[in-house]
Amino acid sequence: MPTTKSFKTYTLDDLREITAPELAKQANIHIKTARNRLNRSTDPKELFKEATNANNKGCFKTYTLDDGSQWTIPQMAAETGLTRQAIASRIYLTKDPEKVLSKKRQIHGFDVKRISAEMQERMFFDPLGHWALFNKSV
């Protein structure tokens, strides 16, 4: 027997009944935002208002770089190929457009075989040598 999910029905000031998923779909907002709005108010104007930048946690905040250009973090991430977190770190450190908007660095030319050989020479990959050193110190 299939179960259907039932949602709490809210009665608005204009006597319409609506659920959180319906509000989310109609207002084009996230379902969590819809639930919060329904718990705070029954005013349709308040419930169906457009999502603001505050609801997006600063994703669309405009940053002015030293050269006067204005960018949002998603725009800079698309321009540079970096993640939003990496762009936010760069913005925190400097507003120099050359540094903030520099492309993602690609690391080329390292020798995997040489690195593996170096790693195998380390104590971590030599358990007998490690225990021999450990036993001498006791």
Task: Give mean pLDDT in consecutive 10-residue pieces for the chain, a chain of 138 residues.
Answer: 74 92 88 91 89 55 92 90 90 93 73 63 61 66
- In the prediction, which pLDDT does 44 show? 92
In a domain, 24, yes or no: yes
- In the prediction, which pLDDT does 104 show? 80
In a domain, 26, yes or no: yes
**0.85 exceeded by the pTM?**
no
Specify the number of domains making up the chain: 2
Same domain, yes or no: 32 and 64: no
Same domain, yes or no: 66 and 95: yes
- In the prediction, which pLDDT does 74 show? 87
In a domain, 31, yes or no: yes
In a domain, 108, yes or no: no
Same domain, yes or no: 15 and 47: yes
In a domain, 66, yes or no: yes
In a domain, 19, yes or no: yes
Find the domain containing 67 and state its range: 58-100
What distances in angstroms separate CA 93 from CA 61, 65, 82, 88, 119, one per listed residue?
Answer: 17, 12, 16, 9, 34
- In the prediction, which pLDDT does 135 show? 72
Instruction: Find the largest Cα–Cα distance for the chain.
Output: 83
- In the prediction, which pLDDT does 89 show? 92
In a domain, 110, yes or no: no
In a domain, 3, yes or no: no
- In the prediction, which pLDDT does 35 show? 92
Whether 86 contacts 78, CB under 8 Å:
no
- In the prediction, which pLDDT does 2 show? 55
